[in-house]
Amino acid sequence: MTGNITFTMIKPDAVSNGHAGAMIKMIQEAGFRIIAMKKARLSPEKAGKFYEVHKERPFYGELCQYMSSGPIIPMILEKANAVEDFRKLIGATDPTQAEPGTIRALFAKSIDANAIHGSDSDENAQIEANFFFSELERF
Ligand code: ATP
Ligand code: MG
């Protein structure tokens, strides 16, 4: 399935603001099929592991603290060209730079509380999906 799946997480700001339903609707209407989904909460240690690639960046501590501050909704999504198409749907990391109509333009508050995550490569999509879901949780 390489090339056809991506991993996403609705971040704590969007879950607590009640935007998850509207965001999932946009994701489905854009042609993504939900293979796995749950509500979860990361410990600071687990958030640190998930974002390990960013550990040298100045915002790493805040990012891990933020991502463990409340529940998240991780999902595995399927679609042709999933990784690239999903990053187009969510828009730029900084919501002030995100294209109008993208999920971050509509729902993100700031560069750190930016509503949603999207994998940046097929390889990372597999790693991130495996971080949250077993094979038995995928349908
Ligand atoms: P994500 O990986 O969450 O989909 P992204 O790929 O658009 O986002 P990355 O460069 O991977 O962006 O950064 C990971 C996350 O770290 C961002 O989503 C954002 O929450 C946070 N982040 C990135 N840059 C900054 C920054 N300059 N200041 C604060 N937080 C940042
Ligand atoms: Mg990223």
6-24 pLDDT tens trace: 999 999 999 999 999 999 9
Whichever domain contains 16, its CATH number is 3.30.70.141
Domain encompassing residue 14: 5-137
Alpha helix ranges (H) inside the chain: 12-16, 20-29, 44-50, 60-67, 82-90, 103-107, 122-132
Name the amino acid, one letter, at 69: S
Where does the pLDDT of residue 3 fall: very low under 50, low under 70, confident under 90, or very high at 90 and above?
confident
Whether the CB-CB separation of 107 and 19 falls below 8 Å is answered with: yes
What total number of domains does the chain contain?
Answer: 1
Is the CB of 69 inside a 6 Å radius of any atom of ligand 1?
no
Instruction: List the catalytic residue out of 7, 72, 117, 132.
Output: 117
Chain segment 109-120, per-residue pLDDT in tens: 999 999 999 999
Whether the CB-CB separation of 61 and 69 falls below 8 Å is answered with: no
- The ligand with the least distance to the CA atom of 63 is 1
54 is catalytic: no
Where does the pLDDT of residue 98 fall: very low under 50, low under 70, confident under 90, or very high at 90 and above?
very high
Is the CB of 124 inside a 6 Å radius of any atom of ligand 1?
no
